[in-house]
Amino acid sequence: MRDLLSRIPSRLRPFLPLLALALGAALVLLAALYPGLVALILAALFAALLARRVQDPGRRAGLALLPPALALGLAWGAAGVTQGFAVGAANLAKKPAPPPPSWQVWVSSKPAPGPADKAGRACLYAGAVLGLLLVAALRSKEAHDERHVHGLPVADSAAKGTSRWAGDRDIAHVAEFGPPKEGPHGGGTVVGKLKGRIVRLVPDKCVPPLPQHALVVAGTGGGKSFSFVIPNAVAAACEGESLVLTDPKGELACTLGPWLKAKGYQVYLFNLAYPEWSSCWNPVLECRDDEEITAFATAIVQNAAKDKAGYFVMKEIQLLKALVYLLRADFPPEQAHLRAALSLLSWPVEALDERFERAYREGRLPQEGYEEWRGAVSSNYDNAVSGLSAKLNVVRSEPVARLLSRHEIDLSAIGKEKAALFCVLPIGSAHLKPVLATFYYFFFRRLYGLAAENGGRLPNPARFLLDEFANIGQVPGFTEVISTARSLGIKIQFVLQGLKQLQDVYGAAEAEAIISNCPIQLFLGGDDLATTRYFSSRLGEAAVYAESERKDVTMPWQKATEIPKRTENVVRRPLMQPEELSRMKPLDAVCLVRWCLPLHLKKLGWEELPQAREIQSLAAKILAELCPARPEFRVELPPVPEVQGPPEGLPERRRGRKPAPPPAEPELEVEPEDDDDLSPERVKAAKDLGLL
């Protein structure tokens, strides 16, 4: 009802009491004239309410029409049978036959002229009631609510299990009902529909308040964007929160960008799929201190490496740190970017060493950068160059190099004002993990710094909606971020295709820590075994009433003649088995909420929201409407210097070429004086000395 009222325009709401009064008067008048017709209508409405949780639209409509159909069928049958007996009795008594039955009499308040009409009217009402009972019985076979688990009635037996599905009252302390709206607790986290009502989780209502971090698992076709990302972007906008969205295809930017602009948001686009429609961001110039340079180099190398902690990986990190220090200290800003670091790797080592030495001696290069270079060049330099060049190969592409060569995005602006940033990813973006991981690392870093400047909380709260979270890569310090972000006004809600993805990126220990910091965990469907086992175990077990049959078949004839004995027992029943979760219906969802019973929900399509019409009317067809294409420009690279010779004191192994082999000793010729001098013993001795 609240959802229906929210869809009515505000200018018409003052007239709702008058409309309700008029409808009530019309219903009373109709009931006075046609009580049977009103009974059929009410039976159909109550049946529709009972069947609203049935997923199949055809079956739901059939259940709604079952009571009036059954009532009319019983009425016709009863009237026909009664009319037949009445006609037979009249013929035997040689009396006039009674008038034929008329359905108009059954549904009206007119007196029934004959026994057939009286029987038809009585069976009409009885059939409506019987139809409602039948609908309730058929519906309960698949019911998942506070009273049923897979249609089985829930029993009060703590010894057999204490879990069950949550109802409205069970989640009232952590939830609001109805579509997102402006005002206190008007946003929250939209998770789906319960009994036809939209559920928005607002754990901030709890005492103590819980963070709204959310873990969403949805396999391919699970509707993660349609049912979660877009509805929660709308909820965030209703609360005035800034938004950071991972947009795998660019559809979110086209759909939501113009609407957010109309609501006063600054909209930014970081487009790795089509860099010509994007703002630029330079991670080299984003670094501010040694800690950030270390995290940046670590994220770049480790997200491109299979072995994240090997010796050569550490050498590559050390070398990249040194290059970042040098680019920031000794090159103009237009040449200080990641593509330039790749270019420096092609320099002769003696020229690079000379540049480091001169920059350090002249006071431009910090001592930390010089020390990193000395450590990188001390041994296995060629291996470090080879490995790092391969890992930076992603920036060799001209569009990506241009995107990362200039600095146009102020990451802290998201926390200062209402702003939205869409990070558009290309299909198959695994090779961009190094770039994405550093991007989000610096994002969190800047927001934390801004919050520290403003008393520990962002001036404008921010929500991260990170679809395809595993394709972002390992964000440095993400475990610490998600455990402390709530107090700063940051909500992190990320989407995976399976929990194993999180373990593959972060490792089992950190993945468990990240999951434990998400009080909201939503399963939209999928076949991943680790995921279904996890949610099945977390849902728990309920005590339910289950019937069993027993038949004595000791004698052969008892198998056919024995009547089964049915008994009802209280048994332990998991709310959902792993295999039941994997074949869950497409529009079903399961949600775990801390301090609350689990929820069995229906998915909410964002087009059901009252804001959908406005969003659709403003949506852009292509990204160019949201961010005009920038003119192409050439990425400036440092010129490769000519090699004059190795600097004094540089070891030979660092000169970029193999050392010359030592001069061979002159061979001594042995001239035998006579044949006797070439005895076998003397020949052997000469060979041992290398003379022959």
Domain boundaries, given as residue ranges, for the chain:
34-142, 173-279+410-540+587-621, 281-408+628-655
Looking at residue 655, its pLDDT comes to: 41
pLDDT-based confidence at residue 322 (cuts at 50, 70, 90): very high
With a CB cutoff of 8 Å and minimum separation 6, the contacts of 399 are 275, 276
**Using an 8 Å Cβ cutoff, are 370 and 360 in contact?**
yes
Report whether pLDDT(355) > 80: yes
State how far Cα 121 lies from the chain centre. Answer: 56
Looking at residue 332, its pLDDT comes to: 95
Tell me the average pLDDT of the chain: 86
**Using an 8 Å Cβ cutoff, are 562 and 151 in contact?**
no
**Using an 8 Å Cβ cutoff, are 391 and 432 in contact?**
no
Looking at residue 435, its pLDDT comes to: 92
Angle of CA points 188, 497, 444, to nearest 5°: 55
pLDDT tens per residue across span 602-639: 999 999 999 999 999 999 998 888 888 888 888 999 99
CA-CA distances (angstroms) from residue 268 to 253, 255, 280, 611, 631?
Answer: 9, 14, 10, 22, 18
Of 406-410, 596-600, 673-677, the range with the lowest mean pLDDT is 673-677
DSSP state of 94: T
- Report the half-sphere exposure of 692 (CA within 13 A, side-chain side): 12
Looking at residue 632, its pLDDT comes to: 83
How many CB atoms lie under 10 A from the CB of residue 607?
A: 12
Looking at residue 688, its pLDDT comes to: 54
Looking at residue 139, its pLDDT comes to: 64
Q: Please give the average per-residue pLDDT across 21-32, as a whole number.
A: 80
DSSP state of 561: H
Q: Please give the average per-residue pLDDT across 114-130, as a whole number.
A: 86
Instruction: Enter the tokens of residue 604.
Output: 């909410």
Most confident range, picked from 58-62, 83-87, 245-249, 646-650: 245-249
Report whether pLDDT(358) > 50: yes
CA-CA distances (angstroms) from residue 672 to 667, 669, 680, 681?
Answer: 16, 10, 13, 14
Instruction: Enter the tokens of residue 84.
Output: 């037949």
pLDDT tens per residue across span 131-154: 888 887 776 555 788 888 988 889
> Strand, coil or helix: what is 480?
helix
What's the burial of 647, exposed, middle or buried (CB within 10 Å: 0-12/13-18/19+)?
A: middle
Quick one: which of 563, 540, 541 has its CA closest to 551?
Answer: 563
SS3 of 591-655: the string is EEECCCCCEEEECCCHHHCCCHHHHHHHCCCCHHHCCCCCCCCCCCCCCCCCCCCCCCCCCHHHC
Looking at residue 671, its pLDDT comes to: 44
- Positive/negative CA dihedral, 45, 51, 54, 60: negative
Token match 């004959």: residue?
114
As a residue count, the chain comes to 692
Looking at residue 421, its pLDDT comes to: 96
> Strand, coil or helix: what is 518?
coil
Angle of CA points 354, 358, 361, to nearest 5°: 140
Report whether pLDDT(660) > 60: no
What's the burial of 271, exposed, middle or buried (CB within 10 Å: 0-12/13-18/19+)?
A: buried
Q: How far apart are CA 591 and CA 575, in angstroms?
A: 12
Q: How far apart are CA 169 and CA 146, in angstroms?
A: 10
CATH 3.65.10.10 matches 173-279+410-540+587-621: no
pLDDT tens per residue across span 521-577: 999 999 999 999 999 999 999 999 988 878 777 777 767 777 778 788 999 999 999
Looking at residue 667, its pLDDT comes to: 46
**Using an 8 Å Cβ cutoff, are 63 and 137 in contact?**
no
Report whether pLDDT(686) > 80: no
Looking at residue 680, its pLDDT comes to: 58
Q: How far apart are CA 132 and CA 39, in angstroms?
A: 12
Looking at residue 203, its pLDDT comes to: 85
Residue percentage of the chain with pLDDT more than 90:
56
DSSP state of 492: E
With a CB cutoff of 8 Å and minimum separation 6, the contacts of 517 are 211, 213, 479, 482, 483
Q: Which is more confidently placed, 61 or 664? A: 61
With a CB cutoff of 8 Å and minimum separation 6, the contacts of 301 are 313, 316, 317, 320, 388, 391, 434
pLDDT tens per residue across span 411-446: 999 999 999 999 998 877 778 899 999 999 999 999
Q: Please give the average per-residue pLDDT across 112-120, as a whole number.
A: 82
> Is the peptide bond prior to 647 cis by the omega test (within 30 degrees of 0)?
no
Looking at residue 53, its pLDDT comes to: 57
Q: How far apart are CA 369 and CA 350, in angstroms?
A: 17
pLDDT-based confidence at residue 645 (cuts at 50, 70, 90): low
SS3 of 422-436: the string is EEECCCCCHHHHHHH
Report whether pLDDT(653) > 70: no
pLDDT tens per residue across span 303-315: 988 776 788 999 9
pLDDT-based confidence at residue 646 (cuts at 50, 70, 90): low
Report whether pLDDT(474) > 90: yes
pLDDT tens per residue across span 165-224: 999 999 999 999 999 998 778 899 999 999 889 999 998 888 788 899 999 999 988 899
Looking at residue 372, its pLDDT comes to: 96
pLDDT tens per residue across span 365-399: 999 999 999 999 999 999 999 999 999 998 998 98
Q: Please give the average per-residue pLDDT across 111-120, as a whole number.
A: 82
pTM: 0.76
Of 108-122, 219-233, 258-272, 569-583, the range with the lowest mean pLDDT is 108-122
Residue percentage of the chain with pLDDT more than 70:
89
Strands 419-424, 520-525: parallel, antiparallel or unpaired by DSSP?
unpaired
pLDDT-based confidence at residue 673 (cuts at 50, 70, 90): very low
Looking at residue 102, its pLDDT comes to: 81
